[in-house]
Amino acid sequence: MNKNTATLLISAPDRKGLVATIADFLLSHNANIVHADQHQDSEANLFLMRVEWDMTDFSPTKETFQAAFSPVAKQYEMQWNLRFSAQPLRMAIMVSQYEHCLSDLLHRYRIGELACEIPLIISNHENCRALAEFNDIPFYHTPMVKEKKAEIEAYQLKLLEEHQIDFVVMARYMQILSPDFIATYPNRIINIHHSFLPAFDGAKPYHRAHARGVKLIGATAHYATSDLDEGPIIEQEVMRISHRDSVEDLIKKGRDLEKIVLSRAVRWHLDSRILSYQNRTVVFD
């Protein structure tokens, strides 16, 4: 994403001529394609595509692109989304007490691995404030009180809106967001769950993994939906454990999984690599 590029994500009912139409459109505008990948889900009869071009020879605005591309899109019933690398997404991080995912994301941000802006961090605890401040990111403490959950969420949503947040990363934020909150950012809230979903969804996955005697533990990044831990899976990874490992060891080892899995999901989201449909994701590589 160092170059000045535009990335177009498209999904449409699959039919002949889609690739030719899109390629012809881009060629007619003199676009220099630097990456293109497509996928056809024959069961769902769906065509999905990601195409990225260098802006040097074709540099539309969202408006001029829309005007030019709409007729094509309409004819093929495409849903599409355009992003410019020069306009990085604005990402909010929500976190509770465990700071490993936050610390990992902020480090990647600091060394330029994540091409985004982070206008704010929201937490129901105070302990991550120092880390936020070290990275010069405004930190908002929104302590959770059960009876005031609606009110608190309203305040959080207001913060997100004021900071023009594009998407939210729950970096081990240990509160369950209300369906209304989630509906505000469809496919734009990334959560990390500390198990290999669908195994051990819900509470205390490491304890249950230990009790069941599994030989691998996992972590799963997914888009949050109103069904807890049931949203479209973006990435998963596992790690071998042994009979020597206590629950505490699983928690410790699992942190490494959580950091890696969440950071990949965030990077792919930033790079417009993810298309979500039928509660599943395509991740273009």
Can you give the binding site for a second copy, defined by CB under 8 A?
A: 16-17, 19-20, 23-24, 26-27, 30-43, 99-100, 103-104, 107, 111, 113, 130, 134, 196-200, 212-216, 218, 232-238, 240, 242-244, 246, 252, 255-256, 260, 263, 279-283, 285
Least spacing, CB of residue 216 vs a second copy, in Å:
5
Nearer to a second copy, 156 or 263 (CB): 263
Nearer to a second copy, 73 or 114 (CB): 114
CB of 282 to a second copy, least distance (A): 4
* Beta strand spans in 88-205 (E): 89-95, 116-123, 139-141, 167-170, 189-193
Pull the structure tokens for residue 234: 């973006």
3-class secondary-structure state, position 42: coil
Return the SS3 of 232. coil
Of 180, 229, 271, 285, the active-site residue reads 229
Q: How far is the CB of 192 from a second copy (least distance, A)?
A: 14
Q: Minimal distance in Å, beta carbon 215 to a second copy? A: 4
- Measured between alpha carbons, how far is 256 from 143 in angstroms, rounded to an integer? 27
Contacts for 146-154 with beta carbons within 8 Å, 24 or more apart? 149/178, 150/178, 153/177, 153/178, 153/180, 153/181
Active site residue 229: yes
Distance CA 134, CA 119 (A): 14
255 close to 172: Cβ distance less than 8 angstroms: no
Catalytic residues: 229
